[in-house]
Amino acid sequence: MEPIPSAEVERLKAAAARLRGRVIEMSHAASSAHLASSLSCCDIVAAAYWGVCQIDPARPDDPLRDRFILSKGHAATALYAALAFRGFFPEALLETYCQDGGMLAEHPPARMLPGVEAATGSLGHGLPIGIGMALAGRMRAEKYRVYALLSDGENNEGSVWEAAMFAAAQKLNNLCVIVDYNKWQATARSNETLQLAPLREKWAAFGWDAVETDGHDVGALTQLMRAVPDGGEKPRAIIAHTVKGRGVSFMEDDNNWHYRAPTAEEVVLAHKELGLA
Amino acid sequence: MRNAFADELTKLGNVDPRVVMLSGDIGNRLFDKFRAAHPSRFYNCGVAEQNMTGVAAGMALSGMRPITYTITPFVTTRCLEQIRTDVCYHDLPVMIVAVGGGLSYAGLGPTHHACEDIAFLRAIPNMVVICPGDAWEVRAAMRAALEQDRPTYIRMGKRGEPKVHSETPEAFRIGKALPISDGTDVCLLSTGTMLPEVIETAHLLEKQGVSAQVVSFHTVKPLDEDFLRDALSRFRLVATIEEHSLIGGFGAAVAEWMIDEAIVPRKFLRFGTPDAFFKKSGEQEYAREQLGLGTHHMAARIMAVVQ
């Protein structure tokens, strides 16, 4: 695996910080929930959209593009901001998030916004869809890769494990799952709800090339995600250890921010901490 | 019906490289020809229907034309949310093919009965619901479904049903009722595998001096409204017949439509299964008799109304 040059790591970090800033603004403007879930995965989304995926915003339907599926659809603000910053649609559209008659609902819509690969929001759907995309690519000998970002709570869904076994049986090495393992789900600690631990070992036992990493290390994430396929026959699972609400001291690991939206004053404080003020 | 399905699948797969077959670990040897011809386009998805349906959606999003297939309850209600959210919300050309609709697998017990699937699936936006009347209609439905690029549900019986047609009916169109025989007094609208029983019922009525038109009303959604309007104005009695609950099925769809259109039928009868699980052992014919779907029972109920 090629290490990521430090200049590129800095660029990815800046992209992630910019995503966090925008996600916080959107949550405030719309009084929408799931801010902490979005902050949790901004580094993963930044790695995907700035470091890994072969995508061309001018050709969002290019059949040979890499696919990134936000299976944890409740982190839609992170996806919307990434797509806008990458040029899939105008940034001004972010102002319409959650507004009456808009295209940016609280969960990503089906076949309406350029760059949104799948409508998600109901958990446990993104991985099977991603497997279908990966198999279609393999049937046609196309080299694109498929990435699916799952939440840890999403691992509660039986369909995730149906999919995990199927992908392994199919030896889908053009497929990569990233689990945003922030140790919380909507109302409780994830491991106290349905026991996920040991999560890496679970994915490995299901036949995946499963690795653990710091889910806020954009360089490590980029390196691991780029190395797909890696010559082996297994799909890759990256268990990304994260902190819910990452980047804002008064939100980090405080699950009230699963539902709370920040006040105007809190937006200013958060932006300062992110170095965006 | 399932043999016709497998044979037609092979034919479609031979001419269309987008056709992919996904089986829920069923159809032992049924797909040997397809698998031999197209090994990279056959997937045994195991006993994991949620995943199978999501995989089909992902394939369709990537330009393929997948078909999901297993026993009716498992390919419909078991994975209903994947059908709704992955297939129908994305409006994808996935063909969901069910074997053993209605009481086809009566002997296997209520876990394998399917008398609610039409109700669930026709409630989902973008979904087309087709219940072919015989093996030839299965073939016609598959060809038409592949052409229309929309989510389509095809509800089959199992195997060995009597054939009504002698070849693929030329006049088969999705959303268009298919008249089987002419009649002047009553109109019998049959959907799905009840068609041979309805033809027999018409013969029983004929013997008692009542002339019945038999129609294969294979498409439950969208309804053939023009045909319904005409039949309801022309016949003394119109009846719907289906191997499905009276709640939410074909007859319910027609009744809802009549109310919305402010059409008052002269006489209207619905034949279907009651709001109850059929727990007794016994095969399809026995279950039909017990549930009021036997030919003599249907003929007697119709005679009681028209006389």
CATH code 3.40.50.970 region(s) in chain B: 2-155
Q: Which residues of A touch B64 (CB under 8 A)?
A: 132, 136, 139
CB-closest option in A117, A122, A159 to B51? A159
Q: Which residue of A lies nearest to B52 if distances are taken between CA atoms? A: A128
How close does chain A come to B300, measured CA to CA in Å? 49
| Integer angstrom CA distances of residue A273 from A44, A82, A205, A260 | 20, 20, 40, 19
CB-closest option in B51, B89, B91 to A128? B51
**Quick check: A135 and B59 CB within 8 A?**
yes
Per-residue pLDDT, averaged over B177-204, amounts to: 98
> What pLDDT, in 10s, does the model give residues A33-66?
999 999 999 999 999 999 999 999 999 999 999 9
How close does chain B come to A147, measured CA to CA in Å? 13
Angle between helix axes B295-306 and B195-207 (nearest 10 degrees) is 50
Q: What is the CA radius of gyration of chain B?
A: 19
Burial A48-84 (b: 16+ CB within 10 A, else e): bbbbbbebeeeebeeeebbbbbbbbbbbbbbbbbbbb
Using the predicted structure, report yes or no on whether residue A277 has a pLDDT greater than 80. Answer: no
Q: Within 10 A of A156 (CB to CB), how many other CB atoms are there?
A: 16
**Do residues A40 and A246 lie in contact, with contact meaning Cβ atoms separated by under 8 Å?**
yes
Q: In what order do the strands lie in the sheet with B65-71?
A: B42-44, B19-23, B65-71, B95-99, B152-155, B128-130, B219-221
Q: What is the mean pLDDT of chain A?
A: 97
- The structure tokens listed for A91 are 């940034």
CA angle B51/B53/B58 to nearest 5° reads 90
**Do residues A133 and A67 lie in contact, with contact meaning Cβ atoms separated by under 8 Å?**
yes
How close does chain A come to B288, measured CA to CA in Å? 36
ipTM of the complex: 0.97
**Quick check: A133 and B59 CB within 8 A?**
yes
Suggest the residue from B22, B62, B89, B92 to mutate for an interface test with chain A (most A CBs closer than 10 A). Answer: B62
How close does chain B come to A136, measured CA to CA in Å? 5
> What pLDDT, in 10s, does the model give residues B62-92?
999 999 999 999 999 999 999 999 999 999 9
Using the predicted structure, report yes or no on whether residue A76 has a pLDDT greater than 90. Answer: yes
**Do residues B220 and B130 lie in contact, with contact meaning Cβ atoms separated by under 8 Å?**
yes
What pLDDT was estimated at residue B86?
98
> What pLDDT, in 10s, does the model give residues B280-294?
999 999 999 999 999
What pLDDT was estimated at residue A199?
98
Topology adopted by domain A6-273: Rossmann fold (3.40.50)
Residue B102 pLDDT level (bands cut at 50, 70, 90):
very high
Q: Which residues of A touch B66 (CB under 8 A)?
A: 132
Residue B307 pLDDT level (bands cut at 50, 70, 90):
confident
- Mark out the alpha helices in B130-283 (DSSP H runs): 135-148, 195-207, 225-234, 250-260
**Quick check: B62 and A162 CB within 8 A?**
no
Residue A183 pLDDT level (bands cut at 50, 70, 90):
very high
Q: Is the pTM of this model over 0.95?
A: yes
How far is Cα A68 from Cα A79, in angstroms, rounded to an integer?
10
DSSP character string of B58-81: HHHHTT-EEEEEEEHHHHTTTTHH
Q: What are phi and psi of B19, to 5 degrees?
A: -75, 125
Q: Which residues of A touch B62 (CB under 8 A)?
A: 63, 132-133, 136-137
Q: Going by DSSP bridges, is the β-strand pair B237-245/B212-216 parallel, antiparallel, or unpaired?
A: unpaired
**Quick check: A139 and B40 CB within 8 A?**
yes
**Do residues B113 and B105 lie in contact, with contact meaning Cβ atoms separated by under 8 Å?**
yes
| Integer angstrom CA distances of residue A169 from A134, A206, A234 | 13, 9, 9
Per-residue pLDDT, averaged over B129-139, amounts to: 98
**Quick check: B43 and A170 CB within 8 A?**
yes
> What pLDDT, in 10s, does the model give residues B233-259?
999 999 999 999 999 999 999 999 999
Instruction: With H, G, I as helix, E, B as strand and everything else as coil, classify residue B114.
Output: strand
Q: Which residue of A lies nearest to B40 if distances are taken between CA atoms? A: A139
Spans of all domains in chain A: 6-273
CATH number of B178-306: 3.40.50.920, 3.40.50.2300, 3.30.830.10, 3.40.1390.10?
A: 3.40.50.920
Q: Which residue of B lies nearest to A161 if distances are taken between CA atoms? A: B51
Q: Percentage of chain B surpassing pLDDT 70? A: 100
Q: Within 10 A of B209 (CB to CB), how many other CB atoms are there?
A: 10
Per-residue pLDDT, averaged over B197-213, amounts to: 98
> What pLDDT, in 10s, does the model give residues A193-220?
999 999 999 999 999 999 999 999 999 9
Residue B108 pLDDT level (bands cut at 50, 70, 90):
very high
Q: Percentage of chain B surpassing pLDDT 90? A: 98
**Longest pairwise C-alpha distance within chain A:** 53
Burial B171-188 (b: 16+ CB within 10 A, else e): ebebbebbebbebebbbb
- The structure tokens listed for B101 are 């609709």
**Quick check: A132 and B90 CB within 8 A?**
no
Question: Is residue B39 within 8 angstroms of chain A, CB to CB?
Answer: no
Topology adopted by domain B2-155: Rossmann fold (3.40.50)
Q: Which residue of A lies nearest to B89 if distances are taken between CA atoms? A: A110
How close does chain A come to B280, measured CA to CA in Å? 32
CA nearest neighbour of A151 among A134, A127, A129: A127
User: If you ran DSSP here, which 8-state letter would residue B88 be given?
Assistant: I
What pLDDT was estimated at residue A208?
98
Suggest the residue from A68, A107, A135 to mutate for an interface test with chain B (most B CBs closer than 10 A). Answer: A135
**Quick check: A128 and B50 CB within 8 A?**
yes
Per-residue pLDDT, averaged over B136-153, amounts to: 97
- The structure tokens listed for A140 are 């046609």
Q: Which residues of B touch A119 (CB under 8 A)?
A: 85, 89-90
- The structure tokens listed for B160 are 């060995």
Residues of A contacting chain B (CB within 8 angstroms): 63, 110-111, 117-119, 122, 124-125, 127-140, 158-159, 162-163, 165-166, 169-170
**Quick check: A117 and B61 CB within 8 A?**
yes
- The structure tokens listed for A108 are 């990503």
**Quick check: B46 and A170 CB within 8 A?**
no
Per-residue pLDDT, averaged over B28-34, amounts to: 94
Q: What is the mean pLDDT of chain B?
A: 97
Q: What element of type H or E holds B273?
A: strand B268-273
How close does chain B come to A157, measured CA to CA in Å? 11
Using the predicted structure, report yes or no on whether residue A1 has a pLDDT greater than 80. Answer: no
How far is Cα B240 from Cα A88, in angstroms, rounded to an integer?
51
> What pLDDT, in 10s, does the model give residues A256-269?
999 999 999 999 99
Q: Which residues of A touch B51 (CB under 8 A)?
A: 128, 131, 159, 162-163, 166
How far is Cα B274 from Cα B292, in angstroms, rounded to an integer?
9
